[in-house]
């Protein structure tokens, strides 16, 4: 499975200005591209919503060789209920720790040299206080599972990930497609997985010709397919093919054809400006800023 790549994780966000401030100013990520849509995605990229929404990709470098974050904003949706499905994103960046301290962003040292903070919306971020590597600082995504053995069978045997580490005592396993890619950690939480209303999605790429085989395998194994193989258009950009799956705990998984996605995911030098313009024009963003000020002064 050396041809498969870990691409990004999707967070649904309510307070867009504060969220952007966190990823841009605290974590030090760049705005890689920003897109606005007038109606919901036919592959439910923005969740079960039909209205206007936006997608902002943020990360430390191009998605060709970095794992990035997709910030999905549904206009008019102020917040989402978190579940126990997403357990954390781990980064190595002493600069991010410095930024958080300088800007008064709450940090908790959970073990020596590792700090936990929280992105707007309640998403946990773990920061290792070491020099940011020249390669990708994003180390792993941790997801909760209800049955580690069942989850491991799915992600290893069906998805094709290699097992990098297994800790029987702590009931967790680390998997990935390659040594130099962001890893996926599965943590047994000993109970049913609740996705709340903020359920995320993890995305991978593979050669386009592998997509029908992935879909066929999941059908053969009686696994859930949320969106059968479909083509998604982005105006003025490449059309990509995707198939959306769900693992036994309901974690959403997107596989996208690599060739077209590399074209679609090129960094837009105007991304930051487009995002700032969209936020300036959005009255709900303005409301969030005022509401935050009112809460702070109460």
* Contact present, 23 and 119 (Cβ < 8 Å): yes
Average pLDDT over residues 52-80: 95
On whether the CB atoms of residues 6 and 67 are closer than 8 A, the answer is yes
pLDDT interval class at 58 (50, 70, 90): very high
Tokens of 184: 């996926």
Q: Is 220 helix (H, G, I), strand (E, B) or coil?
A: helix
Q: Is the pLDDT confidence value at 288 over 80?
A: no
* Mean residue pLDDT across the chain: 92
Burial 106-132 (b: 16+ CB within 10 A, else e): ebeeeeeebbbbebbbebbbbbbbeeb
61 band by pLDDT with thresholds 50, 70 and 90? very high
Whole-model pTM: value is 0.92
| Domains with residue ranges and CATH for the chain | 5-279 (3.10.180.10)
Q: Give me the pLDDT at residue 156, please.
A: 97
Q: 25, exposed or middle or buried, with CB in 10 Å at 0-12, 13-18, 19+?
A: middle
Pairing of strands 123-128, 86-92: parallel
Q: What average pLDDT does this structure show over 72-101?
A: 95
Residue 289 pLDDT: 56
What does the pLDDT read at residue 138? 98
> Quick one: average pLDDT of 171-175?
97
Assign 106 a pLDDT band (cuts: 50, 70, 90).
very high
Tokens encoding 136? 């990708």
pLDDT band for position 285 (50/70/90)?
Answer: low
Predicted pLDDT at 169: 93
pLDDT of residue 45: 82
Confidence check: pLDDT of 227 > 60: yes
State the pLDDT at residue 23: 97
Helix (H, G, I), strand (E, B) or coil at 80: coil
Which residues are paired to 246 by β-bridges?
224, 252
- What does the pLDDT average to over 171-196? 97
The mean pLDDT value for 139-160 works out to 97
Residue 163: closest CA among 136, 183, 144, 180: 183
Q: What is the pLDDT of residue 250?
A: 97
Tell me the pLDDT band of 234, cut-offs 50, 70 and 90.
confident
Least confident interval from 21-30, 33-42, 112-121, 140-149 = 33-42
pLDDT at 282: 87
Q: How confident is the model at residue 229 (pLDDT cuts 50, 70, 90)?
A: very high
43's tokens = 């592959």
DSSP 229-276: EEEE--TTS--EEEEEEE-TT--EEEEEEHHHHHHHT---TTHHHHHH
Q: Is the pLDDT of residue 39 over 80?
A: yes
């Amino acid at each position: 499975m050396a041809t498969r790549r870990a691409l990004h994780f999707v967070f649904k966000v309510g307070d867009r200005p504060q969220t952007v401030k966190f990823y841009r100013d605290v974590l030090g990520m760049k705005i890689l591209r920003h897109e606005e849509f007038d109606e919901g995605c036919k592959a439910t990229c923005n969740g079960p919503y039909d209205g206007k929404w936006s997608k902002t990709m943020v990360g430390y470098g191009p998605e060709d060789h970095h794992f990035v974050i997709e910030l999905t904003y549904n206009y008019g949706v102020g917040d989402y209920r978190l579940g126990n499905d997403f357990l954390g994103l781990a980064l190595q960046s002493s600069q991010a720790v410095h930024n958080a301290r300088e800007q008064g962003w709450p940090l908790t040292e959970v073990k020596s040299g590792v700090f936990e903070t929280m992105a707007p919306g309640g998403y946990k971020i773990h920061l290792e206080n070491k020099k940011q590597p020249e390669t990708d600082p994003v180390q792993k995504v941790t997801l909760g599972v209800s049955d580690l053995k069942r989850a491991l069978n799915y992600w290893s045997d069906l998805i094709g990930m290699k097992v990098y580490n297994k800790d029987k005592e702590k009931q967790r396993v680390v998997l990935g497609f390659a040594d130099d890619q962001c890893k996926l950690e599965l943590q047994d939480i000993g109970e049913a997985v609740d996705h709340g209303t903020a359920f995320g999605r993890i995305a991978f790429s593979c050669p386009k010709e592998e997509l029908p085989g992935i879909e066929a395998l999941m059908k053969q194994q009686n696994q859930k397919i949320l969106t059968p193989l479909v083509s998604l258009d982005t105006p003025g950009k490449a059309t990509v093919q995707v198939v959306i799956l769900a693992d036994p705990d309901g974690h959403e998984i997107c596989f996208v054809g690599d060739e077209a996605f590399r074209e679609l995911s090129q960094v837009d030098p105007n991304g930051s400006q487009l995002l700032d313009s969209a936020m300036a024009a959005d009255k709900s963003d303005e409301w969030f800023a005022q509401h935050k000020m009112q809460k702070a002064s109460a």
